[in-house]
Amino acid sequence: MTSMTAHGDPAFTARQPVLETRGLTKSYGGLVAVNNVDLKVFDGEPHAIIGPNGAGKSSLINLLTGHIPPTAGEIMFGGRNIAGLPAHKVARLGIGRSYQRTNIYPSLTCYENCWLAAQARRHHSFSFILPARRHDDLHDIVEDALVRAGLGSRIDAVASKMSYGEQRQLEIAMVLATGPQLLALDEPLAGMGREEAEKVIQLLVSLGKSYPLLLIEHDMDAVFSIAHTMTVMVNGVVIATGPVAEVRSNPMVQEAYLGDLREKY
């Protein structure tokens, strides 16, 4: 299925990916964690990356978000190569990342967690005297992010006192508050019960409509209901990529990964 960007003349503008990697590679000594990966993420086409443990998914997202520098290859985002930029610069350019293990400010409230996230979109925070709460342009952004992530009623809850599922939602709310151009979510459903997961899946489906979305996920059902495009990685290598239905029926994928998964789970 080939969709054209809504604007622009299809005859002249080829579809521009929001994020594209070319030959992205990360090796640690002899071990190649991510091997020559080409990846394209398009707006309106939520993209899931799946693969067994040790397939290099985590390394890939860490490369994309600047948490580790690549050994080789390019990461094109916003019209420039961002490979090798440090994490905070990548975040500023608009790749909003959530973490596999909950990574929040436990002693702060939801509101404060998101405030710090929203404040990060400012050019700088070297403002020393005027109290932060007087910078009320951020207030709406914070509330909006919390409502979108389904935490509208938990604004003043202290993060460490919330349920695990709510903490995962907060993780996403914080990403939204940074005003991202692209969401890169690392196993947003990790460790959740069925019911909690269902709620977050609905949330991700709706986010997929407003943001370019890159998702690393183990949960197959979730991937099928959220993603439009799917990339399968095994041992650091992409073995298949394309529309979900197509990849799903790819015999190589069936054998290498899906069959294996069915046995496992």
Partner 1 sequence: MTFFNNRWGYLIGAVIVALVAAFPLLKGTMNANLHEFFLQQITYIMIFGLLCMSLDLLVGIVGLVSMGHAAFYGLGAYLLILLTPQYSTPSILTTIPLVLGGVAAIALVIGAFALRTSGLYFIMVTLAVGQMFYYFFNDSKLAGGSDGVYLFAKPTLEIGGRTLINLESKVQFFYVSLGVLLVSFAILRLMLESPFGKVIRGIGINEYRTRGLGYDVYFYKLIAFVIAAVFAGLAGVLGAVQYGFVNPSMLGWHMSGIALVTVILGGMGSLIGPVLGAAFIEVIRYALEHATQHWLLLFGSLIIIMVLAFPRGLAGLGEQLAPLFRKSRAGAEAKPLPEKVDA
Residues that bind partner 1 (CB under 8 A): 28, 31, 33, 58-59, 62, 65, 67-68, 87-89, 91-92, 97, 99-109, 111-112, 115-117, 119-122, 125-133, 135, 156, 158, 160-161, 174, 178
| Closer CB to partner 1, 91 or 141, in the complex | 91
Classify 122 as helix, strand or coil. Answer: coil
Report, in Å, the least distance between residue 206 CB and partner 1. 23
Q: For residues 139 and 262, which CB has a smaller minimum distance to partner 1 in the complex?
A: 139
| Alpha-carbon distances of 254 from 37, 234, 261, rounded to whole Å | 20, 12, 9
Which DSSP state fits 258? I
Rounded to the nearest whole angstrom, what is the least distance from the CB of residue 121 to partner 1 in the complex? 7
Least Å from the CB of residue 184 to partner 1: 11
In which element (H, E) is residue 262 found? helix 259-264
Over its C-alpha atoms, the chain yields an Rg (Å, rounded) of 19
Which CB sits closer to partner 1, 158 or 258? Answer: 158
Instruction: State which residue, 49 or 253, has the beta carbon closest to partner 1.
Output: 49
Residue 97 or 218: which CB sits closer to partner 1? 97
Is residue 3 classed as helix, strand or coil in its secondary structure? coil
First CA to last CA distance, the chain? 31
Residue 228 Cβ vs partner 1, minimum distance, rounded to whole Å: 26
> 184 exposed, middle or buried (CB, 10 Å; 0-12, 13-18, 19+)?
buried
| Closer residue to partner 1 (CB): 85 or 244 | 85
Dig out the tokens for 242 from the structure: 């394309």
Q: How far is the CB of 111 from partner 1 (least distance, A)?
A: 7
Cβ closer to partner 1: 121 or 228?
121
Would you say 52 and 260 are in contact if contact means Cβ atoms under 8 Å apart? Answer: yes
Helix (H, G, I), strand (E, B) or coil at 246: helix
Q: Could you list the beta-strand ranges (E) of 134-220.
A: 182-186, 213-216
Nearest to 179 by CA among 259, 121, 241: 121
CA–CA dist 21, 31 (Å, integer): 20
Shortest gap between Cβ of 185 and partner 1 (angstroms)?
Answer: 13
> Least separation, in Å, of the C-beta of 156 and partner 1?
8
